[in-house]
Structure 1
């Protein structure tokens, strides 16, 4: 087999990439690795693999493409160039579809197929070269495949040749860090005809489909050649196509991922002579494929990308502005075969604000499958030389889920069950479900296949707010429903057939498959089991609350238990996007080994009594509760003591005990090493002396919390001291002090300044300030008038008598002339 030297489509000579082939082959023979940058139209996707197969006949050439359409189209084009059928010398392999044979020398793969190959045979026996195409797209499977191949090449296959191809390399140094700094870098200028670019401002309130259809009609009036229009998703494509349906002389063709291959292939056929062709495409048409006769591009400037939301554990589609490199890729489509035009539905000012390149998918994607795939090879994320490693928080979330799915042990080691899950080559949630169904003779494989065909895919119902997943599963299993889109149902049933073939040998009955649907969904989403909490609120197994709107889903209204596989985050909280009922019997059967028994013993505030209850729980879900009627009296006392402490002693009669507590605070402050330290609080003192054992003893005979107010807290605290300690309390922190013939009360509201309050005349014979705490703390004297009102505060009585007293006496004698004044 020789390198094809003939042109593609309407070109009149060989493709630009032919000039680089000798350098590519030379570099591969010398160092085994090449990074190739080739602009659109250079022919790299088809010519390079054919050249490699011709130059290195000792093994197979594997080409990794980021999309199914690109993979199929590349295989078809290469087969056409060498005048062979697809599946002969050139074949392809992807999830749910494969066309290869014993003659296949070039195999185009996608969607994690390369990872499966590496897991099956890390040495890639019989493969001489691996080509990574469109690396600039930074797809998750592409980044993972490149990092693993480079790692395993270093470990097992230094002779394995690696070619990394891209329309634009961006940060080539980051790629070389993975591939190797001594890798040859080769650039092909490609062939680009001039493209005239113009900009058109859109009103924010305007509908995109209306703006796009107007732009198409305007350009189609004077256009030569086909018009390629980029829209963010299939919904916008369908709406735009509907607006163009009655425009004469237009052949409108959609192009997006959910179309069948035959429908996608219509865009590759030569356009008719009497009609102007309009291709409405998603970013699927940016790279890898060549569309005939495209002279004009209309770019909406938007793209729909998958982003993993860690807060809800869901991948959601978000519409974002294109990046500069993607906009240039789209623009370049107009200059493949002749001079063209590009109309951008945004302003030049907005153009300047675009990000330079797209974000690597590995940074925003669900990496659960990646973590499991690495575990199969006994690698962790840190072992692999990724161009950009996944975020730690994403890896941790993935690891937690895989442990819940019993695919990984607590230390991250893969289980035998995990290996079987990974073998299915799908998301571990679905893989776990499929493995369990294969093991469980009571679950219908048809139910599992229908669920696998629906979960994670586009909704088969058109513009329906009904979130009941069971009605959709019924349609896939054969029921009719006016809300269902025929094409979407057909694709879902094809996927169901694929999964049934993978479940061959499963022993479950095929009848009444709908009855087993909830069990299948619960196996895939064990963390999304939920229990009704009143109104439309449900509690998830992980403890979060979700709202279930049942306006059109009456079958879910008030259902005790649900499985909620899809969630949406709103400003009001989590909202169910799909759900179906499940019985408690199903939950118990499926998760029997994960259900735990928790004994709750303590005070029930609502019933004002001590209870012991045993709860059967699955995560945060309480499946059942039983109460033990016989409780030991000591246990009751201890439970009351625990709740008293938990409620910070507020159920005790603390007010009458406060004088004693304040004296103890004073004594504690007295023994502190630094008097500048803040004194203890009442709670500190109560915690010190009213220990659980002390309170348990005091609660003996009580059954209700309201009864503990009768406990004499002062005597209870004093009972914790021996005789000498009680004497020391009275000596160092007395409640009262006798001065002369009178006895005065001491208060400890401020433990750093104990107060003795007395009428001034009662202290005529006291010349020195009395003290407590073994003479270390002088009392603060509040001198009162005959009416008991404060007239002076002092800690130095001697100075008061000598200095201030005369003025105080003069004032008081005038106000109280009948009293004695010395």
Structure 2
């Protein structure tokens, strides 16, 4: 091999590790040459084919072409590639460069990997879902079926220790990389708040071009930013701008990679240019510090693209692009002080992605939830459950595991949703499946109507924002047509409802175009969109907001079309529920598809038990409202329970937790907040105690004090001491202070008008001391009532003095 590369120095160590252990982890910085050198170096050591996995199609093709050129051969002889929709391999091919999903299909169709001697996982630090799954399956195959299968995991920035441990303490081989220094330049001050991102990026690119020589590689979050920055840039005439992103056609991507024939090349790229690709004339990197990732929200069942700060590992990877072939410079669009706040590594895709495809693969493998597989990052159980529920709705899984339909879906190069649609709707669904698997070909200003996208495939016009997307969709549609079965004809709305049974939306009442989705979530449409008046829609793309997702793509569907597709899932339901808005129990009969209510009517003769159970939700909202008598009862129970643990816990929290047990039987006829306000809790509370418990309660904390005139005065136990309030005249002749057990009652003596006169815990002392002063005051106010000189000898009374 000509043109020595840094990786060459450690290739003997790598070959020795594979010969001895059959596995290795190779750490080599960007530009070391691991992608194109390692497979070639292993050719003489490995019996069978070497399959190398690349995370991106562009990188897979470029790596295969570079290795074939090293051997002075065309691609497809010793070195070939296999990517979605394209393959160049032959009978003599020994090295196959494939994208990661291809390996999963190889493993599922032939777990022994017949004819394959080694698997090489390149750029594993990207932690794609397919790479994690592929490594987990390959490791199980090596342990159970193929102990001769060599495994090599290669990375530039990954923490190698955990990967080596995962692979049974695999040997770690390190390459120091090329010794081309890269000068890093940070901003002096942070980008000013309010500054447009594209303006800040353009300014930094223009500065980098003015201060340096050679090609410039700029990292931007996505295609939109690339196009806007390209429009903003003001560069010298000899500078040629080349976009580079995944949705471009291969010809345009190759133009961005090739050295410039004249002048300076300025490549505006997404993260596609972080790894595996060597853009030979690049000497300068401008890193805007942003990356776009897909985030899956299990609560909404939707994925959304979010723009986030890059991790330090990604920033180092990008910086390395400037030093691959010569000394370079890296400009970072943040200050050195801001760098410490960046995360160390990007999240693994298994942590943030939709796991429905993974769950389907695990079911096909027979691995259940994957707990027994060697995942570097185990999948989240909650997200797995959400994915499993979707697959069950699609008929891909049942209680016994994967179904025949699920096996058919696993063979399709589509998300299970789209595969389900293709299998039921047939060949006519191929264009729609290909379209929904790609990015939107229309500009952001276009209506959300999915039908417009289908029309664009048939008649591309000036409104197309990305013709490369249209061409890829057409090519993929042809391929899917060959995989699709025969099926009865369906229109696009019915097809979309097959793929998204949880996203059929019904417009809510009101002026705003807000929709409730069949899966229970909410979604909103722009008021000025032509579809804003549609009653029923199928939402095929949103921004993923978990509270109320903004609709980015949808198609109108009629009720008849919905019934034609999901008629078996539409049915009448009797609903009793508490209405927070009306503060009452409502009883309805509703025809529903999931959370979408297609018809609604009053439920006459509603089940009383269902009404009572619905009222419990009202009680939870309104809270307990005990009457004075009920409050005193609760206080008695609380007091006695301190020494008698056999009594039930009647604290408010405990009562609310057990509403079904004690309150439900007493709620007959209670339907509204007003009914509840007038409801007496005391009978229900007393029913919680059996006869023995009531006897002990009455003995330890009697409910009443009986006056000499047989009046029952309620005793209040809620204070520091038990208390009664009684008219003073009723206590005449009482010579011993009232008690509960040994505890004296706190007695509030009342005037004839029932106003407090005196509070005492020693009634005999009151008669002997304070009574005379009270008598003098009260005789003037209430002359018609008796105020004897000696209250101890007087008879108790409730009456005034008799008239003369």
TM-score range, shorter chain: 0.7 to 0.9
Aligned CA RMSD, in angstroms, stands at 4.7
User: What displacement does 1:647 show?
Assistant: 6.3
User: What displacement does 1:219 show?
Assistant: 5.0
Normalized against structure 2, the TM-score is what? 0.83
Q: Verify the 8 A CA contact 1:602 1:612 in the aligned structure 2.
A: yes
Matches within 5 A, 1:331-730: 331-379=319-367, 380-410=369-399, 413-438=401-426, 445-446=427-428, 448-464=429-445, 466-478=447-459, 480=461, 482=463, 484-503=465-484, 505-509=485-489, 516-535=491-510, 536-551=513-528, 553-557=529-533, 559-568=534-543, 573-600=548-575, 614-625=589-600, 631=605, 674=643
Question: Paired residues, what number?
Answer: 775
For 2:782 and 2:233, the matched residues in 1 are separated by 106
Alignment partner of 1:555: what SS? coil
For 1:782 and 1:806, the matched residues in 2 are separated by 17
From the superposition, tell whether residues 689 and 132 of structure 1 become closer, same or farther in structure 2 (CA, over 3 Å): closer
For 2:620 and 2:48, the matched residues in 1 are separated by 80
For 2:724 and 2:154, the matched residues in 1 are separated by 88
For 1:790 and 1:374, the matched residues in 2 are separated by 78
Partner of 2:758: 792
Structure 2's unaligned 5+ residue stretches are: 791-804
User: What per-residue deviation string (whole Å, max 9, x for no partner) do you get for residues 96-139 of structure 1?
Assistant: 22222223221111141111111111111110111111122222
From the superposition, tell whether residues 668 and 496 of structure 1 become closer, same or farther in structure 2 (CA, over 3 Å): same
From the superposition, tell whether residues 795 and 645 of structure 1 become closer, same or farther in structure 2 (CA, over 3 Å): farther
Out of 122, 134, 153, the position equivalent to 1:133 is 122
Partner of 1:289: 277
From the superposition, tell whether residues 750 and 428 of structure 1 become closer, same or farther in structure 2 (CA, over 3 Å): same
Q: Verify the 8 A CA contact 1:225 1:277 in the aligned structure 2.
A: yes
From the superposition, tell whether residues 107 and 483 of structure 1 become closer, same or farther in structure 2 (CA, over 3 Å): closer
From the superposition, tell whether residues 777 and 154 of structure 1 become closer, same or farther in structure 2 (CA, over 3 Å): same
For 2:314 and 2:543, the matched residues in 1 are separated by 29
From the superposition, tell whether residues 777 and 321 of structure 1 become closer, same or farther in structure 2 (CA, over 3 Å): closer
For 1:146 and 1:720, the matched residues in 2 are separated by 60
From the superposition, tell whether residues 414 and 637 of structure 1 become closer, same or farther in structure 2 (CA, over 3 Å): closer
Partner of 1:239: 228
For 1:333 and 1:669, the matched residues in 2 are separated by 74
For 1:337 and 1:664, the matched residues in 2 are separated by 87
From the superposition, tell whether residues 106 and 747 of structure 1 become closer, same or farther in structure 2 (CA, over 3 Å): same
User: What displacement does 1:171 show?
Assistant: 1.9
Normalized against structure 1, the TM-score is what? 0.81
For 1:737 and 1:501, the matched residues in 2 are separated by 94
For 1:345 and 1:665, the matched residues in 2 are separated by 66
Q: Verify the 8 A CA contact 1:116 1:425 in the aligned structure 2.
A: no
Out of 42, 48, 53, the position equivalent to 1:52 is 42
Q: Verify the 8 A CA contact 1:746 1:754 in the aligned structure 2.
A: no
Q: Verify the 8 A CA contact 1:464 1:483 in the aligned structure 2.
A: no
Out of 738, 755, 758, the position equivalent to 2:727 is 758
Out of 254, 257, 281, the position equivalent to 2:246 is 257
For 2:202 and 2:642, the matched residues in 1 are separated by 84
For 1:726 and 1:176, the matched residues in 2 are separated by 69
For 1:389 and 1:726, the matched residues in 2 are separated by 56
User: What displacement does 1:517 show?
Assistant: 1.4
Out of 29, 35, 41, the position equivalent to 2:31 is 41
For 1:708 and 1:295, the matched residues in 2 are separated by 77
Alignment partner of 1:112: what SS? helix
For 2:565 and 2:676, the matched residues in 1 are separated by 47
Query: Higher mean Cα deviation, 535-544 or 195-204?
Result: 195-204
Partner of 2:713: 746
For 1:206 and 1:159, the matched residues in 2 are separated by 58
Q: Verify the 8 A CA contact 2:724 2:745 in the aligned structure 1.
A: yes
For 1:245 and 1:645, the matched residues in 2 are separated by 68
From the superposition, tell whether residues 648 and 735 of structure 1 become closer, same or farther in structure 2 (CA, over 3 Å): farther
For 1:645 and 1:337, the matched residues in 2 are separated by 73
User: What per-residue deviation string (whole Å, max 9, x for no partner) do you get for residues 702-735 of structure 1?
Assistant: 99999999999999999999xxx99999999899
2:54 is the counterpart of 1:65: yes
Alignment partner of 1:150: what SS? helix
User: What displacement does 1:691 show?
Assistant: 7.8
From the superposition, tell whether residues 286 and 665 of structure 1 become closer, same or farther in structure 2 (CA, over 3 Å): closer
Query: Higher mean Cα deviation, 597-606 or 131-140?
Result: 597-606
Partner of 1:10: none
Alignment partner of 1:476: what SS? helix
User: What displacement does 1:424 show?
Assistant: 0.9
Alignment partner of 1:345: what SS? strand
For 1:729 and 1:19, the matched residues in 2 are separated by 89
For 1:55 and 1:718, the matched residues in 2 are separated by 85
Alignment partner of 1:370: what SS? helix
Alignment partner of 2:371: what SS? helix
2:76 is the counterpart of 1:99: no
Partner of 2:107: 118
For 2:136 and 2:501, the matched residues in 1 are separated by 32
User: What per-residue deviation string (whole Å, max 9, x for no partner) do you get for residues 439-481 of structure 1?
Assistant: xxxxxx33x2232223253221123152222222222244646
Alignment partner of 1:175: what SS? helix
